[in-house]
Structure 1
Amino acid sequence: MQVLFIVNEAAGHGKGKKVWHRLQQHLTINYDVAFTEYEGHGQELAKNWAQDAQTKKLIVIVGGDGTIHEVVSGVVHNKLIIIGVVRAGSGNDFARYFSTFQDAVQIENYIQNEMVYLPMDVGAVQLGDYQQEIFVNNAGVGFDAFVTKRINTSRLKLYLNKIGLGKLSYAVAVVRGLFSFRRFDVKIQADNQEWHFQQAWFVAMCNQPYFGGGMKISPTSKPDDGQIEITIVHGISRLKLLLVFVTVFFEKHTKFKEITFLQGHQFNIFVHGNDVDCHTDGNYIGEIREGTRIHSTVQRDAWQVLSEEH
């Protein structure tokens, strides 16, 4: 069994380097290792290593949600690649739902025994005529992308990571952004149906329940059901939105009338009123011009992840 570790030493503002150093000291198997050096490098490394695969191969990612997004993007629809993860990010939303490796012993036991894995879906989003982007966890239009764009360059995130509170950086950024974000109107179409929402804060497209460092925004989302779940927060005051974010951690936000949940195989989303930001798995992918069509869909059985039985 060929094994490649893709390590993002910068994940979690240095946590990736520490996790890898500790992990490699206990590895006794043969393996290859590659280190990401710039944004998008994880996708290149995974694609190049996997492209000539003739038998099953295992990629173990040491990093956070952004690195996982890149690696899965590089091997999507490659049936011979199994993905494993050693968590080393800030939010680690992937690890809140999917099974992950905890240490070198688990990795080696998995390789030496019958490797159990499960096929998973990915979400996909296309902004107008631009190239389609996939997402493993979720994609977002509006306030969550607005926050993501700012948090990825924030010194506060660096400080919170240093003291082990990196997962709070999203919550802090939410409070800071409440008073500067401009709301928008949105139209959503699917299966000959159409919905209109005014004064929307965000539209979250989800392939699993968690986002923002542990907020269970889409409780019914499953990454193997062939469906995309969409959460729209609309027509709500700034103060009440803050309350919503608090209740999300306890799954109580589903009771608010200003939150609408939709489920389906594909959706067309149009924003009106002003331009808005968009992200996939916490990676900022650009600003959407008013009236641009955002096409969101799901791709079945697109990648393989290790199973909880490991």
Structure 2
Amino acid sequence: MSKYLFIINPVSGKGKGRKLQNKIQEYLNSNRIIHNIILTERPNHATEIVTALENQYKYIISVGGDGTLNEVINGCSLNNGTIFGVLPIGSGNDFALNLGFRKNLISNLEIICSDNASIRECDICQLEYFDKSVQKNVVKRFINNLGLGFDAQVAFINQHKKIFSGIISYVFAVLRALLKYRPINFVLKLKNDEIKGEKLLLTFGNGVSSGGGFYLTPHAKIDDNSIALTTIDFISRFKLLRKLPLALINKLETVKEASMYKTSNADVSVNGEIYIHTDGESAYINTDRIIVNVLDKKIKFITAE
């Protein structure tokens, strides 16, 4: 059995994955680490790779951003004890930050390939909905966050109309999203609460941040068997531009229009077409209901903490 499988998204971080492939290979070879490297070739390829090869490796390392990691965790069985890792080189690396990783490639490789690497069992979440536009039931996992409304619209623009990278790209996407600014109407059922009305956004977080550093769910914890939830009331463009920067400095809890909860499941009724994103991978869907759950099984990750 080969010890490590590195799945590299070559276009992640505006082509950074392809540029760093040789450096990763050199490190692994010089340290005599048993490994294979596979580059993804198309959307959802990482999911296919993990599904086919998971039982052949002790460690599977996602090399990319949150979107690449989302594909990886959607391919794993959660049954055979495989340990996962992240080399954050994407435009959004929020989940890796929850694990303590930063942007130094060699330092991250040293941590991941250490015989004494720390392992953390993390929650994994799932959403389910029926997309009326394609007449298909969709079931998908996510590891960092799920957004509905404005932040999902921003993610859609950031994914499909990207100009820059990292947090700068996300800020520009926010400004462009303001041109088509509208509220979402929903009824959200939790175990002991029912929330409804016109909202700017509804976001579920296993991790504390999204979009490369916006702390929309600062009360989240990746291993507490629950998911954090934040709703923000619909506010004017001016007020949004004034208050959104507070999410960048982890001060969203001071915004009176923001409400925060913790739950293990949620049932969201929406009215037709809506922007949605899972770990930054966005879509525009037509549905009446979205169900969110924290799965019973956990997933093991190498941590830098």
TM-score (norm 2): 0.89
2:143 alignment partner AA: V
Whether 1:219 aligns to 2:208 is no
One-letter amino acid matched to 1:90: S
Q: Hey, what's the Cα distance between the residues in 2 that align with 1:222 and 1:183?
A: 28
Secondary structure at the residue paired with 2:13? coil
Moved more, 124-133 or 14-23: 124-133
Structure 1 partner of 2:147: 140
Q: Which segment is superposed worse, 90-99 or 28-37?
A: 90-99
Give the aligned partner of residue 70 of structure 1: 71
Q: The residue matched to 1:5 in structure 2 has which SS?
A: strand
Asked if the contact 1:120–1:300 (Cα under 8 Å) also holds between the matched residues in 2, the reply is no
The residue type equivalent to 1:49 in the other structure is: L
Of 39, 43, 46, the residue aligned with 1:39 is: 43
CA distance in 1, matches of 2:228, 2:107: 36
Q: Alpha carbons of 1:84 and 1:208: their partners in 2 closer, same or farther (altered >3 Å)? A: same
Q: 2:101 touches 2:108 (CA, 8 Å); kept in 1? A: no
Question: What is the alpha-carbon distance in structure 1 between the residues aligned to residue 270 and residue 111 of structure 2?
Answer: 49
Query: Amino acid of the residue matched to residue 25 of structure 2?
Result: Q
The aligned counterpart of 2:123 is 121
TM-score w.r.t. the length of structure 1 is 0.88
Native 8 Å contact 2:129 2:137 kept in 1: yes
Classify the secondary structure of the residue corresponding to 1:90: coil
C-alpha change, 1:243 and 1:300, in structure 2 (3 Å) is farther
> Which portions of structure 1, spanning 4 or more consecutive aligned residues, are displaced by more than 3 angstroms?
99-112
Describe the shift of the 1:301–1:115 C-alpha distance in structure 2 as closer, same or farther (beyond 3 A): farther
| 1:188 corresponds to | 188
Measured in 2, the distance between the counterparts of 1:104 and 1:256 equals 39
Alignment partner, residue 296 of structure 1? 292
Give the direction of change, closer, same or farther, for the CA distance of 1:258–1:214 in structure 2 (3 Å limit): same
- 1:105, CA displacement in angstroms? 6.9
Q: List runs of 5+ in structure 1 lacking aligned partners.
A: none
Give the equivalent residue in structure 2 for 1:20.
21
Match of 1:171 in 2: 171
User: Pairwise CA RMSD of aligned residues?
Assistant: 2.1
Distance of aligned partners of 1:266 and 1:107 in 2 relative to their CA distance in 1, 3 Å threshold: same
8 Å CA contact 2:87, 2:108 repeated in 1:
no
Q: 1:242 to 1:74 in 2, by over 3 A?
A: same
Distance across 2 between alignment mates of 1:117 and 1:301: 15
How many Å separate the matches in 2 of 1:112 and 1:98? 15
Partner of 1:9, secondary structure, is coil
Deviates more, 1:98-107 or 1:146-155: 98-107
Name the CA shift for 1:192/1:209 in 2 (closer, same or farther; >3 Å): closer
Q: What is the Cα deviation at residue 115 of structure 1?
A: 4.1
Q: Is the 8 A contact 2:273 2:284 kept in 1?
A: no
Q: Could you tell me which amino acid in structure 2 is paired with residue 302 of structure 1?
A: K
Q: Specify the alignment match of 1:3 in structure 2.
A: 4
Q: 1:2: how far off?
A: 1.5
Q: Residue 133 of structure 2 aligns with which residue?
A: none
1:84 alignment partner, SS class: strand
TM superposition shift of 1:64: 0.9
Give the 3 Å change call, closer, same or farther, for CA 205–107 of structure 1 in structure 2. Answer: same
Alignment check: 8 A CA contact 1:278 1:286 kept: yes
SS at match of 2:253: helix
Partners of 2:121 and 2:298 within 8 A in 1: yes
Among 138, 153, 161, the alignment partner of 1:154 is 161
C-alpha separation in 1, matches of 2:73 and 2:173: 27
Aligned residues with identical type, % of pairs: 29
Aligned residues of 1:76 and 1:302 also touching (Cα < 8 A):
no
Deviation sequence 1:175-204 (CA, Å, 0-9, x none): 111121321222111125312222x11110
Please tell me whether the aligned partners of residues 85 and 112 of structure 2 are also in contact (alpha carbons under 8 angstroms): no
